[in-house]
Amino acid sequence: MTSQGTSDGVERFRTHAPENLQERFAHRAAHMKPSEIRSLFAVASRPEIVSLAGGMPNLTAIPMETMSEIVEKLVREHGMEALQYGSGQGHPRLREQICDVMALEGIRANPDDVLVTTGSQQALDLISRIFIDPGDVVLVEAPSYVGALGTFSQYEADVVHVQMDNDGLIPDALRDAIKTLRYQGRKIKFLYLIPNYQNPAGVLLPADRRTEILDICREEKIFIVEDNPYGLLGFDRPSPNAMRSQDSENVIYLGSFSKTIVPGFRIGWALVPQALREKLVIASESSILCPSNFSQMAISSYLANQPWRDQIASFCKLYKERRDAMLESLDAHFPKAATWTKPQGGFYVWVTLPPEIDTKAMMPRAIVAKVAYVPGTAFYADGFGSWSMRLSYCYPTPDRIRQGIAALGKVVEQEMERRGVPQIN
Amino acid sequence: MTSQGTSDGVERFRTHAPENLQERFAHRAAHMKPSEIRSLFAVASRPEIVSLAGGMPNLTAIPMETMSEIVEKLVREHGMEALQYGSGQGHPRLREQICDVMALEGIRANPDDVLVTTGSQQALDLISRIFIDPGDVVLVEAPSYVGALGTFSQYEADVVHVQMDNDGLIPDALRDAIKTLRYQGRKIKFLYLIPNYQNPAGVLLPADRRTEILDICREEKIFIVEDNPYGLLGFDRPSPNAMRSQDSENVIYLGSFSKTIVPGFRIGWALVPQALREKLVIASESSILCPSNFSQMAISSYLANQPWRDQIASFCKLYKERRDAMLESLDAHFPKAATWTKPQGGFYVWVTLPPEIDTKAMMPRAIVAKVAYVPGTAFYADGFGSWSMRLSYCYPTPDRIRQGIAALGKVVEQEMERRGVPQIN
């Protein structure tokens, strides 16, 4: 704090920093450190950089005129409700509509079991809060969503990654992990996974693996947290039914309107087993009192009055075009020694380079070449992933994607040379 | 979950409840129980009941036409930003305007030290998160805000109440509490207080006590959390300068637009000492990723284009009229043995009845008489307050307030008779 005037004789500014500050924090505060993505985003958001780093949806497909009419009418006709405090669990009408949305992925749910949250990030936070004691184990895919890893670590969970392949989480690897952890006497609280177009890997978990994983977790009494922000963004065919459609009592399902409508209203939800509902609602009230009535009613009106399924179809078209641009450019510009996933939906491609490459160390050279990505270690709690990177195709235009991948391909080739990695031809 | 059809042969619903559920929760989940206010609100919100229970602001003074134009224009002109993800710390323009609002109470602040939150409830949650280890002590006024008590208890704090009188927290009582707790070897993390028109007591902390309390806490290295949702709602004169205006390094200041504009956008903020800022921002990102750009930009536009200080003045007029109605009715209809606070602003009157009266036990009889309040025990972490009650005058019309207080006065008199309390004449 800079020194301030005291013209009125009342203000007295102290300039000392708080003493013994570290001791005054809670133990968990030691885990509150800036993520690798965080410091990166400041650089990557400069206009001259092609950012393949962010996960921002592309809002060019949103009918802004219609949206402006929706919010205008909402305040004019229902302002006294929309601008007032609301229910802690969420607006009853929206909770019904959320059940209709989930029905598209085979889920039959009761609106009473839906909790509306400030984005599905808040649902991750609340689930952590009701389940995680320090030292408890949370199982996640390898790699997994950086935002989930951050939350689990703030609750002092021990995050254990379970191996994936191009078809997502490997059931046998899950069995082995559980057996090993149980042998060590560890408490496993839940398995967190993103079955559809995973963040960051872009892969899809097939129906048979879903069933097998459900069986394993039910048998082992481990809750499943099924995070599904991208499920409706399949490019060529619908994704398999949600895991929650097969099990209403062992699966906590997380949904979001951030990728299918807009993120700016911050509306996500959790569909929870009845036995967990009361605790989650109380945890949410203690966290934010209630989600925004305005935001909920705006989404509700959009769902009621707009052809939202057509809207999602136009999102899919837009993202598919960008996915194609990225995969074609990777083929054209990346060295043979690199491999990558071929997403059938969602936002992300996961690239694996030769293990000599350190994608974090390479970042400054990529920035010089005017392209940004997220280094693979961000998606691991254990330091793994140093020769991987996440590339997002959701936001830039296809031309910018091609330009960025071409530039990045050169950076990777130079890095391989620098590290003495032989080029495969 | 009710049993479901399995027409497509894919869904398989289990009907067993999760086994050993209590053991699977985190330790803190034991503190997630419905509050007394919670179960009450379902009953109190019936239209035939005069609810003196809720703390909902009265939105009849809000210019709905103007607000509808603001949100319409916001989407039309800035939709690509307003509907996108935003900064975790909050929108830069709004953080500047928040500094202007705080200047009204003598605070000079840097927008870099402001964190925008989903209502100030979220700020309470984040502060608890960075400071409270299980068993740590949090000092609060006696009585204190029910929502804060709930959050502190979820973080397993030991909440210790410090005595108040009609001028708010008593500095000597604070000294004694600190000395005693330190003697017991306890770790005191912060003092939480509401200096202006306190919730639930309605009292105002005078300037000299503010300075004294600041000195004590600085000396004892105890952070102060100054919660100030009602500070601009003084009826006859402005409230004394905020405590934060005297100390930028030991005071965490919480503000909110819920009572001065509208609660439906869920926008509050924390102004934090620089040394705490990074951890709070990271904690918030882990909790909700980012606050709603739309909500923030709507508030920002309202502040930029509307005569918001006049608007707050009309709120004050509206609430003062209701306060007068309540105090006059209490004089006319409540037994002599009852005492109550005389708020100079805000929403609440705190009534103390003879100690034989149990206001929680009396509630069903009040509901029969078509009036609701909040029993005093809700505002204590330790079971105290059973012969007190909080009455809110913010929401009902003056006539309804008179009607409700008249009815409640009779209920109290009957209760005194029932309990054999002598009537004073």
Residue spans of alpha helices (H) in B227-307: 274-288, 293-305
The total of other beta-carbon atoms located within 10 Å of residue A425's CB is: 5
Supply the pLDDT for residue A44. 74
Where does the pLDDT of residue B22 fall: very low under 50, low under 70, confident under 90, or very high at 90 and above? confident
Q: What is the mean pLDDT of residues B74-99?
A: 97
Mean pLDDT of B46-65: 92
Q: Tell me, yes or no, if A67 comes closer than 8 A to chain B by beta carbon.
A: yes
User: ipTM of the predicted structure?
Assistant: 0.93
pLDDT of A61 reads: 85
Q: Taking the domain B65-305, which CATH number applies?
A: 3.40.640.10
Least Cα distance to A359 among A372, A368, A369 occurs for A372
What single DSSP character describes residue B18?
P
| Rounded-to-integer distance, Cα B324 and Cα B397, Å | 12
**Which residues, 6+ apart, have CB-to-CB distance to A86 below 8 Å?**
A290, A291, A292, A293, A296, B264
Encode burial over B279-293: b for 16+ CB neighbours within 10 A, e otherwise: bbbbbbbbbbbbbbb
d(CA B37, CA A303): 33
Q: Which residue has the tokens 């087993």?
A: A273
Contact A11/B106, CB-based, under 8 Å? Answer: yes
pLDDT in tens, B310-337: 999 999 999 999 999 999 999 999 999 9
Q: Which of A17, A59, A189 sits opposite B83 (nearest CB)?
A: A59
What's residue A425's pLDDT?
64
Q: For residue A78, give how far its alpha carbon lies from the nearest alpha carbon of chain B (Å).
A: 9
CATH superfamily of the domain spanning A30-62+310-418? Aspartate Aminotransferase, domain 1 (3.90.1150.10)
Pair of tokens at residue A152: 């689990």
pLDDT of residue A121: 97
Per residue in B186-198, pLDDT (tens digit) is 999 999 999 999 9
Residues 352-391 of A with CB under 8 A from B: none
User: Which positions ≥6 away from B303 have C-beta within 8 Å?
Assistant: B94, B97, B100, B101
Alpha-carbon gap, residue B230 to B323, rounded angstroms? 14
CA-CA distance, B353 to B377, in Å (whole number)?
13
CA distance A388 to A350: 7
Q: Which amino acid is at A321?
A: E
Low-confidence stretches of chain A (pLDDT < 70) are: 1-18, 35-41, 425
Rounded-to-10 torsion of CA A166, A171, A174, A178: 180
Per-domain boundaries in chain B: 34-62+310-418, 65-305
Contact B246 A108 (CB under 8 A): no
CB A371 within 8 A of CB A402: no
Taking only residues 187 to 226 of chain B, the set having a beta carbon closer than 8 angstroms to any beta carbon of chain A reads: 189, 207, 218, 221, 223
**Residue B405 and residue B334 in contact, taking contact as beta carbons nearer than 8 Å:** yes
Which of A71, A246, A265 best probes binding to B when mutated, by most B CB atoms within 10 angstroms? A71
Cβ-defined contact of A29 to B130 (cutoff 8 Å):
yes
Q: Does A13 touch chain B (CB under 8 A)?
A: yes
What amino acid is encoded at A229 in this protein? P
User: What is the pLDDT averaged over residues B111-126?
Assistant: 98
Give mean pLDDT, residues B135-153.
97
In this structure, the number of other CB atoms found within 10 A of the CB of residue A49 comes to 17
Question: Touching check for A28 and chain B: CB below 8 Å?
Answer: yes
| DSSP labels, B315-384 | HHHHHHHHHHHHHHHHHHHS-TT-EE---SBSSEEEEE--TT--HHHHHHHHHHTTEE-EEGGGG-SSS-
> For residues B231 and B378, is the Cβ–Cβ distance under 8 A?
no
**CB proximity B185 to A under 8 Å:** no
Q: Which residues contact A158 (CB under 8 A, 6 or more apart)?
A: A135, A136, A137, A138, A186
Rounded average pLDDT over B217-232: 97
- The pLDDT mean for chain B works out to 93
Amino acid A9: pLDDT: 37
Whether A245 and chain B come into contact, CB under 8 Å, resolves to yes
The domain A84-306 is placed in CATH, from the list 3.40.50.2300, 3.40.640.10, 3.90.76.10, 3.50.50.60, at 3.40.640.10
pLDDT digits (tens, 9 = 90+) for B246-261: 999 999 999 999 999 9
CA distance B34 to B280: 27
State how far the Cα of B370 lies from the Cα of B107, in Å rounded to an integer: 44
Residue with tokens 């999102």: A315
Instruction: Answer whether residue B42 shows pLDDT above 90.
Output: no
pLDDT of residue A34: 78
Average of pLDDT values for B355-359?
96
* pLDDT score of A1: 34
Strand, coil or helix: B225: strand
Which residue on chain B is closest to A242 by alpha carbon? B11
Name the closest residue on chain B to residue A25, using Cα atoms. Answer: B131
User: Domain B34-62+310-418 belongs to what architecture?
Assistant: Alpha-Beta Complex (3.90)
Specify the pLDDT at position A17. Answer: 59
What does the pLDDT read at residue B37?
A: 61
Q: Chain B contact for A121, CB < 8 A?
A: yes
Q: How far is A388 from chain B (nearest CA, A)?
A: 24
Which residues, 6 or more positions from A351, have their beta carbon under 8 angstroms from its beta carbon? Answer: A330, A334, A338, A339, A340, A388, A389, A390, A391
